[in-house]
Structure 1
Amino acid sequence: MSDALPLATLFASSFLSATLLPGNSEVTLVAMLLSGVSQPWLLIVIATMGNSLGGLTNVILGRFFPRREMTSRGQEKAARWLRRYGAAALLLSWMPVIGDLLCLLAGWMRLSWGPVVAFLCLGKALRYVILALATLQGMTWWH
């Protein structure tokens, strides 16, 4: 059986997980790691690519929002993080809810593309690497 369909499913799940739409990229990745559907490194790369592109979609969308006062405490808190740490705050772009907001605000604040892409992708990749290592280590421990 070809790896194309499972990999496309992982990519789609990872992309959607990085947007405001529902997705279960962690569950999908773990299930695929446990089933041995493909090489772990390939699954990590595909999940990272999908999730990073989803996060960058949020950055792009953020650039379309008009520049005006923030209306919620959450927005203001995320904006303070971005002002304080710059694009490095996007290492946390993998976090539920706050990560989406950080990506949107990075676009809204017009942060430089190079650092945004670098930190966002690094944060997403580290999350999947840690998840994969924990899953594979757990498989070894149980056997």
Structure 2
Amino acid sequence: MTPEALAQITLFVSSVSSATVLPGSSEAVFAVLLIKGHPWLSCLIVASIGNWIGGMTSYGIGRLGRWSWIEKLGVKEAQVRALHQRLERWGSLAGLLAWLPVIGDGIMIALGFFRVRLVPVALFTFFGRLIRYGAVAYLTLLVNG
């Protein structure tokens, strides 16, 4: 396996796990790879897709609608219900903000639990994560150019 392939796999795994309740900092892995000269576009695509898959996993757990599973992930029922009012106003657009620390998992679980349409959620979630990693890439390359 080439060093580039290993780096991309590491970034992908980090990005997936960082988008779940598992600990991780995919931004750090992403930035280090950019600083070390790995192609920014392939890193951007891999990180965005990996993080999107992790987020959509949370959506899927919510869609199954079992409180016992949701609570095992550390998300409280009250947190999900509180999001319901906001989701009625924002709908699938909330996926744009699902990358945010602390509340992102709750947003994705709530989107799934309350059956917000899958395709728009998936698209907005992907674009939100793409914008996030794009901003990290821009700032990393600007500072370390």
TM > 0.5: yes
Residues 21-45 of structure 1, C-alpha deviation per residue, up to 9 Å, x if partnerless? 1111000001111111x21010000
8 Å contact from structure 1 (residues 78, 98) kept in 2: no
* Cross-structure match for 1:55: 55
TM-score by length of 2: 0.88
CA distance in 2, matches of 1:31, 1:43: 11
8 Å contact from structure 2 (residues 80, 109) kept in 1: no
* Cross-structure match for 2:102: 97
* Cross-structure match for 2:40: 40
The aligned length equals 136
* Cross-structure match for 2:6: 5
Residue 115 of structure 1 aligns to a residue in which SS? helix
Residue 3 of structure 2 aligns to a residue in which SS? coil
Q: Equivalences for 1:1-143 in 2 at 5 Å?
A: 1-36=2-37, 38-66=38-66, 71-72=77-78, 74-140=79-145
List gaps (5 residues or longer) in structure 1: none
8 Å contact from structure 2 (residues 58, 109) kept in 1: yes
Residues 91-143 of structure 1, C-alpha deviation per residue, up to 9 Å, x if partnerless? 00110121111000111011111101110001011000001001101113xxx
Percent of aligned pairs with the same amino acid: 35
Q: Runs ≥4 in structure 1, deviation > 3 angstroms?
A: none
TM-score by length of 1: 0.89
| Deviation of the 1:2 alpha carbon | 3.4
